[in-house]
Structure 1
């Protein structure tokens, strides 16, 4: 009760505060679960701050956004949540501003592009936590066996997939449009076809001609020709696709830096090339940032801020980034990583980050649009599916959400 009763960190006679943090799991086994990282971090913080206890709950990416939403709806918001979207909570005035909780040097150290993506109407509420960009990974052994080279265009990708299928490869191209990370795979394909979720002025354009063409091509040239493997794209999650790649069952797929470690552990010889586009390498690449949010409900502004300053110190940012092969979100940690020999494998991703396109996370409607993409987008490439109809439904969802209906 003391944690709930206390406002602004004052919690009655005991003086003790419990901060509740909900975080997403970046691990792929129990041994490397993010739970271990946060438990160690909390222990280190509590050793220096005996009056503060940090209670951490970790959920898979399949569940974490929904769980936090349920907590908020039930009037039991955590003090902090490390999740996929923030702006809908900011729009309801449920979050502290970044400058309410972070010290000036910590807030100023965020990579500028990521800090800007954390703003609603010029005010930062979303604190970037981990970042990644995407490239096309391919299995060198399977490619050599099939006598093919990495594709630069969609047509070359389809030809390579045909050659891999002829060699008996289980997933010539893995297309994870399942609920775990469908918005990322969707956006990467949209970008490579010259589209996006929004147009140049930030208006939703999910059912644009470019996007319809992209998903029609996917449906007709990959899925209908049985080049995406035994699991329907709408049922295939990213983690399962990555695991299949590490098992040598996938010829190629879009991946972020974490896939390097997963594949290396299983001794898979892999290569990485820019995402293929309609008529050459894609001009745009996808950048993804996950967000730390600080909720006002329990009133622990001072304690939240002090803990987050600790979370974002260079040592902790680099520890997390290196554990999960992700990109740091602070300029100082990025500088360290760009020159450290142990991080040279991440250089291609670091170089892409400043040029990447991010989700339209500053829109308060994005969380519900993203959720609808997770639910529906797989249907666009189903044998009986209609890309234009599904993208049209998503556009309707987006327009309604944007107008607050």
Structure 2
């Protein structure tokens, strides 16, 4: 979910990947008993969890530890790791063979660590446990490398559209269900509320762009026989980019200031009452009300529409649970992964953090909520969630802000969609070719 890569960390991970026989799945550790009882009496599992996602993590892991000990006889040694330090900490641990038994791994890191041979392939274990048909597709996709599942879906958030219900009601409009309707609603809102930003288009938010590329049938990049190739300049992608940026440049729904905005800037503008609707994460509404209590009861959500109806896919950002190849007891480690990601403890983590769990049956419970804000996000999550290109090299693309630079050049008028997307594609392909 988070991105932080120093040059030293990238170099170290590249060396690790090169040193693994065959790259992905370089270790020999296997899970032999994924569906039955596991005896871990007298053993302790080392577990790394990212700090800050759950404000009540101590209580959660106290309860989890007791349940795990009752089930297996084993104890847990849980270490909380700050997100900002986590990537480098993992890289050093992989290099030194000191990785934990189980750890939370951001979805965009899983391909890197799998490629370095540091993670155990969970494919057969998930199947044996009867879970392979229940994993949220977008999270499963993000954890799958060369056909093997190296990250068990744990939790994630998704972006949809949030809006001011009072502003929509006063203007006499309903949430749109197609791209044409989105423009029609926007025009009405703009006329009724000239002092509000109808639909800001933030130039420093790549995740706000992807739904319009994917929704129009485009891709960011594709794997062609083991070599990744950018598709951001394809006709389908360019049409999606044109529609999205056109909300600002053609229809005037945005503001020039948004050319450099990131998602935090979006939230600040919405909480001030300046925005009618915007792309936002499922974790955002509660924070907006906390920032401005006057918004209580005035925030709604709708799914990102497809061009002619249906849904446009949206990025799922969150975390997997990984079993590391250095574990002395892979069966016991997977028993913990299963306990944390399913049933009571999978649901409880989602409830406590405000994110969605990683299995369809748990998400279905959330989707059935009477909360008009929660349900649209849950539907977007389970029906139209998608991953960025599942390759370690895409982290370098994100590190260079290739997509944000493309957006900003279009929104500022410095380049056309064709020129900017072509430049972005060239930069992506250069990264892919150097890393292959």
Give the TM interval when normalised to the shorter protein. 0.7 to 0.9
Look up the match of 1:88. 112
2:395 maps to which of 338, 348, 367: 367
- Aligned counterpart, 1:236: 262
* Mapped partners of 2:397, 2:364: distance in 1: 34
Aligned to 1:44: 63
Cα distance change of structure 1 residues 20 and 52 upon mapping to structure 2, 3 Å threshold: closer
Q: Cα–Cα, structure 1 residues 140 and 335, in superposed 2: closer, same or farther, change >3 Å?
A: closer
Asked if structure 2 preserves the Cα contact closer than 8 Å seen for 1:365 and 1:401, the reply is yes
Deviation at 1:55, TM superposition (A): 0.5
Q: Which residue of 2 aligns with 1:215?
A: 241
* 1:34 corresponds to: 53
Task: Check 1:258–1:221 CA distance in 2 against 1; reply closer, same or farther (3 A cut).
Answer: closer
Deviations 1:312-344 (A, max 9, x none): 2411221222234433222442354455x5678
Give 1:253 shift: 0.8
Q: Which residue of 1 aligns with 2:348?
A: 319
TM-score by length of 1: 0.74
Residue 275 of structure 1: which of 299, 304, 324 is its match? 304
Distance in 2, matches of 1:81 and 1:204, equals: 29
SS of 2:304's equivalent in the other structure is coil
Q: How far off its partner does 1:188 sit?
A: 1.2
Q: Which residue of 2 aligns with 1:204?
A: 230
1:279-318 alignment, distance < 5 Å: 280-281=308-309, 283-294=311-322, 296=324, 298-299=326-327, 301-302=329-330, 304-318=333-347
Distance 2:405 2:165 in 1: 33
Q: Is the 8 A contact 1:263 1:270 kept in 2?
A: no
Contact kept in structure 2, 1:45 and 1:307, CA below 8 Å = no
- Determine which of 270, 282, 285 is the counterpart of 1:257: 282
Could you tell me which of 182, 200, 207 is aligned with 1:184? 207
Mapped pair 1:329 → 2:358: yes
Moved more, 242-251 or 344-353: 344-353
Alignment of 1:11-160 (within 5 A): 17=44, 19-23=46-50, 33-47=52-66, 48=69, 51-59=75-83, 63=84, 67=88, 71=92, 75=96, 79-85=102-108, 86-98=110-122, 104-105=128-129, 107-108=131-132, 110-111=134-135, 113-114=137-138, 116-117=140-141, 118-146=143-171, 148-151=173-176, 152=178, 153=180, 155-156=183-184, 158-160=186-188
**Residue 4 (structure 2) aligns with:** none
Task: Tell me, in whole angstroms, the C-alpha distance in 1 between the residues paired with 2:274 and 2:95.
Answer: 43
CA RMSD of aligned residues (A): 4.0
For residues 55 and 311 of structure 2, what CA distance do their matches in structure 1 show?
38
Unaligned runs of 5+ in 2: 1-28, 30-41
CA–CA separation in structure 2 for the residues paired with 1:356 and 1:68: 33
**Residue by residue, what CA displacement relative to the aligned partner does 1:134-174 show, whole Å, maximum 9, x if unpaired?**
432221223345565544425325524633661x12x3223
**Once structures 1 and 2 are overlaid, which stretch shifts more, 103-112 or 241-250?**
103-112
**Deviation larger for 365-374 or 64-73:** 64-73
Spell out, residue by residue over 1:47-97, the C-alpha distance to the aligned partner (whole angstroms, 9 max, x if none). Answer: 4467531101242xxx47755676568757565233131113212212122
Q: How many residues align?
A: 374
For 2:79 and 2:130, the matched residues in 1 are separated by: 23
